[in-house]
């Protein structure tokens, strides 16, 4: 374009703008005013969004801190000063639940030494084991009864399945036989949404009962785990046998941090004696709590947890009932062998779970008492997976047991040999959950 033509166009624009200036200015001002209003609205919206995002981020951080490091904020304010599953990752885990979406976050893994004070020994004859692996997601588990609701769920991308419990509801497993005189019960539990507003009466209760109905019988012993967070509500123990209540007490052993993480609960009944552990701590030891022969079943119930309204949930899995057996030392001396399902490993791994410590210690004690005894350690797996992988896994698990006995308990390595049989030597049906649990075992054979 020529310079003269360009100058002419500019002049024309200037003249027109002068002629129509009042109207154009009015329209321009009007448009600018609307634009300013829209800009102000957008700015206000962005400010609100930033404030909301900031507050959400702050609250999220507080919630995560409270979950991953239970009591951290409380401890900072008051100047005061978390733990693990049968066939699941050996880590502290926490859950956030949003309707049907459940997320698990892992914290630091726990080593075997965490449970050095753990003296629980599981029974060696498995009566019941259920990890809900054969149940469909969203269904109520097939081998249980209830008077309310509950559903099998998965948490995050973990393959493990959990039973999500509902408030004011009983959960009764189908037992193949009644409770013996000596037995152990174990289960894993995890919670979400617990806070300072959780009721002080909120509890997960285990009842040893004279019936398997959906109500308490005439003869029972109960232990309930408190779910409250703003106080130490205490582990409640109470019983009633032959019309008489002999024990009723709140045992103040603060479990608030434990139940915010993945907690392993273990119970041992030996005649009248009742003991209960959560993770590595023994919380209850009552010498005359049970009337032998009267409790024949066990059941769970959840109370004072308005979970659907408050997004507060309790999940359980890996429920295990086993009959107590002979002393390990006498078993090895008399029969020359001993088999146990009490040494637990992470799923598909040779890493020993901390709750195996009590069983390992008992074996180590037997070897220390019989200094001339040498043993072969043989690992076994269930039939899940391929043969070669299971064979290698079983050998690695036997080696892990040997290393634990030498490194943690000082047993001389030349007294121990290892081998693995994989899935080739089952003792139960690999088509059932309980059979698989029985086949995942470690044998000790005197040599």
pLDDT in tens, the chain (447 residues): 544 555 455 555 544 454 444 444 444 445 445 544 554 455 444 544 444 444 434 444 444 344 344 344 433 333 333 333 333 333 334 444 434 444 443 334 455 666 777 889 899 889 999 999 999 999 999 999 999 999 999 988 788 999 999 999 999 999 999 999 999 999 999 999 999 999 999 999 999 999 999 999 999 999 999 999 999 999 999 999 999 999 999 999 999 999 998 999 999 999 999 999 999 899 999 999 999 999 999 999 999 987 677 788 999 999 999 998 656 777 788 888 989 998 999 989 999 998 898 889 889 988 998 989 999 999 999 999 999 999 999 999 999 999 999 999 999 999 999 999 999 999 999 999 999 999 999 999 999
pTM above 0.85, yes or no: no
R_g (Cα) of the chain, nearest Å: 31
**Pairing mode, if any, of strands 416-422 and 375-380?**
parallel
Distance of alpha carbon 291 from alpha carbon 242, whole angstroms: 9
Of the candidates 208, 230, 227, 226, the one whose C-alpha atom is nearest the C-alpha of residue 217 is 208
Structural domain spans, the chain: 23-68, 91-323, 328-446
Q: Which fold has domain 91-323?
A: Jelly Rolls (2.60.120)
Residues 6+ apart with CB under 8 A from 280: 83, 114, 115, 116, 117, 118, 354, 357
Cβ(401)–Cβ(352) under 8 Å?
Answer: yes
Distance of alpha carbon 118 from alpha carbon 125, whole angstroms: 21
Cβ(303)–Cβ(201) under 8 Å?
Answer: yes
Q: What class, spelled out in words, does domain 328-446 have in CATH? A: alpha beta
Of the candidates 286, 304, 271, the one whose C-alpha atom is nearest the C-alpha of residue 223 is 286
């Amino acid at each position: 374009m020529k310079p003269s033509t360009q100058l002419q166009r500019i002049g024309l624009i200037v003249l027109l703008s002068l002629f129509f200036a009042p109207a154009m200015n009015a329209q321009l001002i009007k448009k600018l005013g609307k634009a300013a209003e829209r800009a102000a609205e957008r700015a206000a919206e962005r400010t609100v969004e930033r404030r909301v995002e900031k507050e959400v981020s702050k609250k999220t951080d507080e919630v995560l801190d409270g979950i991953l490091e239970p009591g951290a904020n409380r401890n900072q304010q008051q100047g005061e000063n978390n733990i693990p599953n049968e066939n699941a990752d050996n880590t502290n885990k926490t859950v956030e639940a949003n309707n049907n979406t459940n997320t698990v976050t892992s914290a630091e893994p726990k080593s075997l030494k965490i449970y050095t004070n753990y003296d629980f020994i599981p029974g060696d004859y498995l009566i019941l084991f259920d990890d809900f692996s054969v149940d469909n997601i969203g269904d109520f588990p097939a081998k249980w009864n209830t008077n309310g609701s509950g559903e099998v769920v998965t948490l995050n991308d973990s393959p493990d399945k959990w039973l999500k419990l509902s408030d004011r509801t009983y959960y009764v497993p189908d037992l193949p036989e009644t409770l013996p005189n000596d037995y152990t019960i174990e289960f894993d539990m995890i919670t979400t949404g617990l806070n300072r507003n959780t009721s002080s009466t909120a509890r997960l209760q285990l009842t040893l009962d004279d019936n398997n109905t959906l109500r308490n019988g005439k003869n029972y012993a109960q232990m309930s785990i408190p779910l409250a967070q703003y106080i130490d509500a205490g582990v409640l123990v109470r019983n009633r046998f032959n019309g008489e209540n002999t024990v009723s007490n709140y045992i103040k052993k603060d479990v608030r941090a434990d139940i915010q993480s993945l907690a392993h609960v273990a119970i041992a009944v030996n005649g009248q004696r009742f003991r209960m552990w959560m993770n590595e701590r023994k919380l209850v030891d009552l010498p005359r709590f049970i009337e032998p022969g009267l409790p024949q079943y066990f059941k769970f119930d959840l109370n004072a947890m308005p979970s659907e309204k408050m997004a507060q949930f309790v999940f359980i899995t890996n429920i295990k009932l086993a009959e107590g057996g002979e002393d390990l030392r006498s078993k090895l001396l008399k029969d020359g062998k001993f088999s146990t399902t009490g040494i637990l490993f992470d799923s598909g791994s040779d890493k020993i779970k901390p709750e195996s410590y009590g069983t390992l210690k008992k074996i180590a004690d037997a070897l220390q008492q019989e200094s001339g005894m040498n043993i072969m350690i043989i690992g076994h797996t269930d039939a899940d997976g391929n043969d070669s992988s299971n064979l290698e896994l079983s050998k690695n698990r036997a080696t892990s047991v040997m290393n634990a006995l030498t490194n943690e308990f000082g047993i001389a390595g030349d007294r121990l040999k290892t081998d693995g049989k994989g899935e080739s030597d089952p003792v139960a049906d690999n088509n059932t959950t309980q059979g698989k649990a029985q086949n995942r075992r470690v044998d000790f054979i005197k040599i």
